[in-house]
Structure 1
Amino acid sequence: MAQLLSQPMRKESLRRANALVHITVTKRSSGNIFVVSLAVADLVVAIYPYPLVLTSIFRKGWNLGYLHCQISGFLMGISVIGSIFNIAGVAINRYCYICHSLKYDKLYSDKNSLFYVILIWVLTFIAIVPNLFVGSLQYDARIYSCTFSQSVSSTYTIAVVFFHFILPITIVTFCYLRIWILVIQVRRRVKPDNKPKLKPHDFRNFLTMFVVFVLFAVCWAPLNFIGLAVAVNPDTILPRIPEWLFVGSYYMAYFNSCLNAIIYGLLNQNFRREYKRIIISICTAKFFFQESSNDAEKIKSKPSPMLTNNNQVKVDSV
């Protein structure tokens, strides 16, 4: 009788375990798609605009023509706006996952998560297209790159700073502030027991993306505030901005694109493990290549047995 009762109980336990695994995998995969999308935004600027900027620096000027200038500026804008929109998407995702975990599965199913990512990139494309009509994508000799010109249209510059920086930053700040409140409550154990608790790996993932957000805000804030000041009163503010401040703010913003990979490696154990595996693979391949080259040189320098035998035959015959 006990065995008959235990079989249904075992099946029910297995069913619950499978459901739990499915929920965990779904949650992680739906969250990871936003991180992958953010990585794509970082790669866009590295594939095309940055090499052209380096070419312009080496040539001390832009010699690639108007079309490449527009494409470079357009892709750079896609990367920047895509990054901040994806950071906002990650923050909203983490906020729903940690603070509203009971509704998370419904909000972030695989289909919904894919739709959200597609929506982010559609909004990114819509946000950058007006630059082509305003004529704000121009070459700036101070930074050797084709980028958004803050002095073309004051109204458009204010709209860009607000919708592409201040509004997303406000949304992200709200989400992470709510998460930090929950983290503090969990640490102090004042959260009711019927609420979902914050797991250690969830906190590490949240901390990683929070640092990514903070670095983005710090790196891009000076340039956006300069643009906002110029847009408010271009005739008075523009001549007073030192060139070193403008150039420094631009390269500080450029530098942000390569920081995310470093942050992932420092704060995420999975990334550290993969980085080590890649480095070991590269070093192993290099060592194997060197050993193969040395063996090949030894074989070439070593006299051939056939040649030695022939020489011996000739000597004997003589």
Structure 2
Amino acid sequence: MTLLALLLIVTIAVDILGNLLLILSVYSNKKLRKAGNAFVVSLAVADLLVAFYPYPLALIAIFHNEWVMGYLHCQVSGFLMGMSVIGSIFNITGIALNRYCYICHSLRYDRVFSLSNTFCYVGLVWALTVLAIMPNLFVDSLKYDPRVYSCTFAQSANSLYTIMVVVVHFFLPIAIVSYCYLRIWVLVLQVRRRVKPDIQPRMKPHDLRNFLTMFMVFVLFAICWAPLNVIGFVVALKPALDSSIPEWLFTASYFMAYFNSCLNAVIYGALNHNFRKEYKRIVLTLCQLVCRTD
């Protein structure tokens, strides 16, 4: 319990600090205020959803070793947790489609991903997210699970529904993103080997670095969320296996997934020069303001 509490405290702190820095960076730096980064900001908002409400409630449950916040908080917490997860994978899919269009279909990019169109796409992502999470309110699948001290999606509530959730909300988006990034990697290799020298002008060094950053966001999301989704999918296919899954494995898969919410902003700060530079500028400005007030 102590280990889980420490992990959750670190996740909440890094999640809030990192994602607020990311949003402020895009807002204050014109170089970062691009159409494609609208999905990056949207992903940061999805990560912040869990840091301000569901995770603190899970922390309270760990301290009390039970859920003490009542039924309404349980349902709201589970709903926001689901919105964050689905919103994250849908935004990652949006990022992949944006990069695919930018690199592989550069002549159409400015028309397809104009600023107004991109805002519409982000709105569509959140509309689909709310639509995807709504069925949970009607199948009574948001319940407190003492193994993870959280009100979350109960995988054993309905086998058919669980299979649909895992396929539509995880496997299908992962397949789409994998296809986009595979096509981009093939194109990058072709450019490097001069198989397609005609597309070289679009492939600038900073474009490749941005792509690698977004690719790492996808890879870490897939790694963090795959164990939980695979367990849910297997149990839904064969419910008898539910009792044979070790509790430590189930708990570890959940908290591994929770930890992902604080990684995205860190990845952008570590791998993207413009974000890293803006992070430093914002932190130094805040420190100067604090020193002046003192």
Task: Classify the TM-score, shorter chain.
Answer: 0.7 to 0.9
Tell me whether 1:115 sits opposite 2:120 in the alignment: yes
Contact 1:186/1:197, CA 8 A, preserved across alignment: no
Structure 2 unaligned segments of length 5 or more: list them: 1-29
SS at match of 1:139: strand
Name the aligned partner's letter for residue 278 of structure 1. Answer: I
State the alpha-carbon separation in 2 of the partners of residues 87 and 146 from structure 1: 24
Say if 1:163 and 1:224 are closer, same or farther in 2 by CA, change over 3 A.
Answer: same
SS at match of 2:155: coil
Larger Rg belongs to: 1
State the alpha-carbon separation in 1 of the partners of residues 255 and 53 from structure 2: 17
- How many residue pairs are counted as aligned between the two chains? 265
State the alpha-carbon separation in 1 of the partners of residues 267 and 32 from structure 2: 22
Contact 1:27/1:108, CA 8 A, preserved across alignment: no
Counterpart in the other structure of 1:81: 86
Match of 1:72 among 68, 77, 93: 77
Say if 1:218 and 1:194 are closer, same or farther in 2 by CA, change over 3 A.
Answer: closer
- CA apart distance, 1:170: 0.1
State the alpha-carbon separation in 1 of the partners of residues 226 and 72 from structure 2: 29
Tell me whether 1:257 sits opposite 2:254 in the alignment: no
Match of 2:97 among 92, 95, 98: 92
Q: Cα deviations across residues 246-279 of structure 1 (Å, max 9, x unaligned)?
A: 0000000000000001101101112211222233
State the alpha-carbon separation in 2 of the partners of residues 192 and 267 from structure 1: 27
SS at match of 2:196: coil
Say if 1:270 and 1:102 are closer, same or farther in 2 by CA, change over 3 A.
Answer: same
Tell me whether 1:144 sits opposite 2:144 in the alignment: no
State the alpha-carbon separation in 1 of the partners of residues 89 and 199 from structure 2: 35
Say if 1:196 and 1:282 are closer, same or farther in 2 by CA, change over 3 A.
Answer: closer
SS at match of 2:34: helix
SS at match of 2:177: helix
State the alpha-carbon separation in 2 of the partners of residues 270 and 110 from structure 1: 20
Q: Cα deviations across residues 201-227 of structure 1 (Å, max 9, x unaligned)?
A: 111111110000000000000000000
State the alpha-carbon separation in 1 of the partners of residues 37 and 91 from structure 2: 11
Contact 2:191/2:197, CA 8 A, preserved across alignment: no
Moved more, 36-45 or 253-262: 36-45
State the alpha-carbon separation in 1 of the partners of residues 211 and 265 from structure 2: 16
SS at match of 1:138: strand
Name the aligned partner's letter for residue 220 of structure 1. Answer: W
- CA apart distance, 1:195: 6.4
- CA apart distance, 1:106: 1.4
Contact 2:61/2:150, CA 8 A, preserved across alignment: yes
Contact 1:161/1:227, CA 8 A, preserved across alignment: yes
Say if 1:48 and 1:193 are closer, same or farther in 2 by CA, change over 3 A.
Answer: same
Counterpart in the other structure of 2:12: none
1:145-224 equivalences under 5 Å are: 145-193=150-198, 196-224=201-229
Counterpart in the other structure of 1:266: 270
Moved more, 181-190 or 202-211: 181-190
State the alpha-carbon separation in 1 of the partners of residues 272 and 31 from structure 2: 19
Say if 1:271 and 1:195 are closer, same or farther in 2 by CA, change over 3 A.
Answer: closer
Counterpart in the other structure of 1:31: 36
Higher relative contact order (CA 8 A, sep 6+): 2
Q: Cα deviations across residues 87-146 of structure 1 (Å, max 9, x unaligned)?
A: 000000000000000011111112211111111111111110000101110000111100
Q: Cα deviations across residues 15-52 of structure 1 (Å, max 9, x unaligned)?
A: xxxxxxxxxx8996211111111111111111111111
Say if 1:275 and 1:195 are closer, same or farther in 2 by CA, change over 3 A.
Answer: closer
Q: Calculate percent identity across the aligned residue pairs.
A: 67
Structure 1 unaligned segments of length 5 or more: list them: 1-24, 293-318
Contact 2:106/2:202, CA 8 A, preserved across alignment: no
Instruction: Give the TM-score of the pair, scaled to structure 2.
Output: 0.86
Match of 1:243 among 233, 243, 247: 247
